[in-house]
Amino acid sequence: MASPSNSAPRLAFVAAATPLARDARAKLEKRYGAVPPAQADIVVALGGDGLMLQTLHRHIHRGTPIYGMNLGTIGFLMNTFKETGLLQRLREARQVSLAPLRMLAINTRGHAHEVIAINEVSLLRSSRQTARIAISVDGRKRLPDLYCDGVLVATPAGSTAYNLSAHGPILPLGAGLLALTPINAFRPRRWRGALLPRHSKVELTVLDPRKRPVAAAADSVEIANVARVTVTEATDIDLTLLFDPEHDLEERILKEQFDH
């Protein structure tokens, strides 16, 4: 991944708040040099998937490619950590484009909140009462009354995260789909969710929100007491991740469907 001048790319390093990640950042900055993220050709994120999501959100409007190295736990969105050979790895890295979601949440007081989600938008009950949610897709009501703990809309990149834990499908990056997945659906019991075209407009209306309060979350940003949530693809935002050829995200998502 060469910079426009074909010289070594200007790198910015960000690290999780752990001694291991901070120590790695100091060593890498000494070895390769560093610039502020706003001046970087590539941002190198050191940590786990949580740090990667934070970094993507922080630089969401810059379009700067982000290369992650795993110093966390799972590291699904990260490459293997190695101090040496970073410039060569960046030159050989594959680009993967991610299309995030835009959540527009209206709370019970009528206030609107717009948040971008890279993994998923989820609605979750906020009390012991089961949530009741009506689901419309592209203006057509598809499910008038879902009794559940919640429901989520996941991107392909997020389909292996919370969506998979909720027994939703894994989506290849190029599938052009979103996963609409219930969380502990009580009624209708047999509904297991749906696959939707990526450009779908999903409207989630909370029925009886005062008796059965529901919170909405776009990745880690939570909005309490929502009445209605609209989810669309954020077509104006294009995120770029860099992966070593042997660890690219498409291969990881495919592998997840066969590993047990």
Q: Report the chain's mean pLDDT, rounded to a whole number.
A: 92
49 catalytic per annotation: yes
Helices (H), the chain: 19-32, 49-58, 86-92, 162-165, 249-256
Phi, psi of 259 (to 5 degrees): -80, 140
Instruction: Classify 174 as helix, strand or coil.
Output: helix
Task: Identify the residue with better confidence: 227 or 7.
Answer: 227
**What mean pLDDT do residues 37-50 have?**
95
d(C-alpha 195, C-alpha 175), whole Å: 10
Q: What is the pLDDT of residue 172?
A: 85
In the prediction, which pLDDT does 62 show? 87
pLDDT of 135 over the 70 cut: yes
- Rounded to an integer, what distance in angstroms lies between the CA atom of residue 120 and that of residue 221? 11
Q: What is the pLDDT of residue 260?
A: 58
pTM: predicted TM-score of the whole model, two decimal places: 0.86
> Would you say 106 and 226 are in contact if contact means Cβ atoms under 8 Å apart?
yes
Which of 99-108, 205-214, 219-228, 243-252 has the weakest average pLDDT?
243-252
Average the pLDDT over each of 28-32, 226-230, 250-254 and give the range with the smallest value: 250-254
Name the residue ranges covered by the structural domains of the chain: 11-98+238-256, 101-233
CATH class of the region 101-233: mainly beta
Percent of all residues in the chain with a pLDDT value above 90, rounded to a whole number: 81
Q: Which fold has domain 11-98+238-256?
A: Rossmann fold (3.40.50)
Q: What is the pLDDT of residue 5?
A: 46
Residue 238 annotated as binding site: no
163 is in an annotated binding site: yes
pLDDT confidence of residue 244: 93
Which tens digit of pLDDT belongs to each residue from 75-134? 888 999 999 999 999 999 999 888 999 999 999 999 999 999 999 999 999 999 999 999
For residue 82, with 0-12 CB atoms within 10 Å meaning exposed, 13-18 middle and 19 or more buried, which class applies?
A: exposed
Catalytic annotation, pick one of 49, 236, 244, 259 = 49
pLDDT digits (tens, 9 = 90+) for 13-32: 999 999 999 999 999 999 99
Q: Tell me which amino acid residue 238 is.
A: D
pLDDT band at residue 6 under the 50/70/90 scheme:
low
Say if residue 85 carries a ligand binding annotation: no
Q: Is 165 annotated as a binding residue?
A: yes
pLDDT at 2: 42
